[in-house]
Amino acid sequence: MKRFGRMVRQRWQRWLQRRIPPSRKVTLDQRRIFIFPTGYGFLFLLIAALLFIGGINYENNLLLGFSFLLVGLFLIAILHTFRNLAGVTLVAGGMRPGFAGARGALEVRVQGGAHAHRSLWLRWPAAVAEEVSVEPGQQQSLWLSVRLSHRGRQDPGRLRVETRYPLGLLRSWSLVDLDHLCLAWPRPLPGGECPASGGENDAGQQHQRGGNEEFEGLRSYVAGDSLRLVDWKSYARGRGLNTKQFSDPAEGRLWLEWQRLPGLDPESRYSRLCFWVLELDRAAERYGLVLPDGSLEPDLGPLQRERALEMLALSGEGGG
């Protein structure tokens, strides 16, 4: 039975992939919208059927007329419930990262069509739905919560957009893949000594890394050097094309290094480095980051923290 259920889900997903392929901008139309009666709608139809049977048995035209009225109202509700969703455009917006095990958020922009769209509910799988209404030609932005299960980029799944407006007799919905990813930073792991080299206690070790704070001198221009570093004044004086060299002194700068955390599994190393990134940022220390697949030059401030956390999140293409 489980195998059969899994096979049905796989075929459903493949059908959805063909029917509503991934796109960062999707306009809902007849091909992308599903509609089905709600429990209240089925009860409504049952009452109409009972009234019809009663009207026939007792030859009561009033009951028959009321039954036909209910069925006609139900048919009109089909049109209006579908129309309330048709023409809505969903656009992938911004992203708010978070730590693994917590929650992030993804922005979805809802653009109205030629008419107003009322009481639309949007949510990612296993998340809380948010309601929005859009006026004709206008746009609303929603930040929808995303559960971050592991480090790295995460696909929240298909966005469910649903409406039961105006009477609640029918449920009209669509499952849209906005190709929208959320970034999860490593979960901070406190403890241990700071896995850093450099700083005041390591001042004798001069790191031979390019910097931009202390001018060292000039060297001959090499193809690929940044044009911002070319000494144009000396070139204008006929002294040839030279490149300025700068360096950052090792003293007072810390390098958080992957290799200084032996004995820990990779994910624990990322988590420990994440903890020290936050600690050094809180202490306003200038720090850099050295990982197996790249490095980040020492700096401080919110932008440096964001770069370091993003680098830890994406190193090794995440932990998922």
* Consecutive 10-residue averages of pLDDT for the chain (320 residues): 80 86 92 94 95 90 93 95 94 94 93 90 89 91 92 92 93 93 93 73 41 60 71 75 64 79 89 92 89 88 92 80
Q: Are residues 57 and 105 in the same domain?
A: yes
Q: Are residues 227 and 177 in the same domain?
A: no
Q: Are residues 260 and 146 in the same domain?
A: no
Q: Are residues 87 and 223 in the same domain?
A: no
**How many domains in the chain?**
3
Tell me whether residue 304 is in a domain.
yes
Tell me whether residue 4 is in a domain.
no
For residue 234, give its domain range: 211-247
Q: Are residues 293 and 307 in the same domain?
A: yes
Contacts of 167 (CB under 8 A, 6+ apart): 73, 77, 80, 81
Q: Are residues 279 and 300 in the same domain?
A: yes
Q: Are residues 226 and 313 in the same domain?
A: no
Beta-sheet strand order (sheet of 25-27): 25-27, 89-96, 103-111, 139-147
Q: Are residues 127 and 267 in the same domain?
A: no
Which string of DSSP letters, residue by residue, matches 77-97? HHHHHHHHHTT-EEEEEEEE-
Q: Are residues 78 and 27 in the same domain?
A: yes
Q: Are residues 55 and 98 in the same domain?
A: yes
Do strands 34-37 and 170-176 pair parallel, antiparallel, or not at all (unpaired)? Answer: antiparallel
Q: Are residues 200 and 104 in the same domain?
A: no
| pLDDT score for 18 | 87
Q: Are residues 175 and 42 in the same domain?
A: yes
Tell me whether residue 2 is in a domain.
no
